[in-house]
Structures are given as C-alpha cells and as structure tokens.
Amino acid sequence: MTALVAEFTPLKKVLIIGASGLTGQALLKELSVDQTNTEIHLLLRQKLPTLTADNIYQHIIDFNNIQIFEYLFQCDVVFCCLGTTLRKAKTKENFKAIDIDLVKKCAQLASGNSSKLIVVSALGANSNSWFFYNKCKGEMQNKVIEVCASNQTQVLFCQPSLLTGERQEKRTAESFSAQISQLLSFVWYGFMKRFKPISAQQLAKGMIVLAQRQTSDKVMFINNQTLHHLSKKH
C-alpha cells in the first residue's frame, strides 16, 4: 500500500450510508466528537432518535430510490458501511441485493461526485473464493472499481477481520467468536496477527484517518493490520 501523506485535510462535508449498523454508529460517534465543523449527512431507513448535534443531518429514504439523493454524494468523502448477514437477509439473493447491488448503486452515485469513497469490505474478500461471504465481498469490490474507473473518485476498501462491539441485533456466532478471541489474545502474533479481531471503534478511527489523508493511488485495499495501526493515529 502506498504511504499516506502525513498532513491532514479538513473534511467539510461527508456522507455515511449505513449509520445505524455497528460500524456506522461507531463512525458517526467518532466524527461527531472531533469533526464539529463538518457537515455529516446520514442516509437511513429510520431516524436515529438520540442525535442532537447541529451538524448532523438525517435523510430518511427508501434505498430502492436512492438515486433521488444523488446531490448528497457531492461531498468530500462517502463512507459506505452497508452490510448484512444471511440470517437477517433470509436468502442469498437478499444478501447479495444489499452487500453487492446496493453498494454498487452507492458507488455509481459517488462516482464523479465525491472526492473519495471508503467502503467497508472484509478480510479475505475474493470473487473466486469458495466461501459465500468472501466471494460476495470480492464481487462487490470488483463492481465498485469498475463503476469508478472512469473518473477521479478515489476508492478505498477497508478489509477488517472479525468486528467486535455492541450490535443492535444479536449475532450468536460473532459474539461467541469475539469471546473466544479475547480468551486466546496471546495467539495474535506473527502470522496470526493479520487475523486479530478489530473493534468497530478502531475501524472507525482508521476510516477517518484514511478520509483525512491523501494518496496518489486510485484504488487502495487497507488490510486488517493497517487498520489497527491507523486507529492509533486518530
């Protein structure tokens, strides 16, 4: 990965898609604390009742008609934190509709409108993977890159390992894995360090650093270890 420029660029206006999820909420919290002069726009299905800051704007939408809000994509950075689970989506088709198709739509709207698009992907994302989740994330990355290829919008894919934090919905498998990872914290060294779980807060901090710093790369893949490192820079 090309080194990021050390100087920070102030953010005037950002858009978060998926602000009600684990990563989106953490990102919103971090931005609202230290980016008080930044316009923070949210695209949501339902209003978040606890937000009172004057610089946060909630836009309630039907994601099937997201193109109506294209004007909001004219900003410094679009943060795409969309993602679901098979359990919640019920079918693989519904899962793909969110994790691939909806993310692609967001990329189409950000393309040429936003200076930078930061997308939450996953460790092991690969369109040729035998694993459904990793395969979908890889296909999503390919589609986003294709959509943004003809303009100046930079695309950054964050590829975290297991995400930890308090979710609104219960994910038994992830919760169990997070507990096990804490008990086995001594194993996250050497080769295994790349798989070390990362908290939503750490991921959010890393994303903000990526948003504020410049690079000459058109497309970047930020791995789990780098995200851990960047979270300490914020």
Q: What mean pLDDT do residues 48-64 have? A: 92
Q: At what angle do helices 224-231 and 200-212 cross, to 10 degrees?
A: 80
Beta bridge partners, 59, equal 43
Residue 52: what pLDDT? 84
- Listed residue (135, 122, 139) closest to 194, CA to CA: 122
Residue 112's pLDDT band (boundaries 50, 70, 90)? Answer: very high
Residue 212: what pLDDT? 94
Residue 158: what pLDDT? 98
Are the C-beta atoms of residues 73 and 116 closer than 8 Å to each other? no
- Tell me the domain boundaries of the chain: 13-231
Residue 166's pLDDT band (boundaries 50, 70, 90)? Answer: confident
Residue 191: what pLDDT? 60
> Which CATH architecture describes the domain 13-231?
3-Layer(aba) Sandwich (3.40)
Beta bridge partners, 120, equal 158
Q: What mean pLDDT do residues 168-177 have? A: 53
Map residue 106 onto helix, strand or coil.
helix
Prediction pTM value: 0.90
Q: How far apart are CA 10 and CA 186, in angstroms?
A: 38
- Answer yes or no: is pLDDT of 185 > 70: no
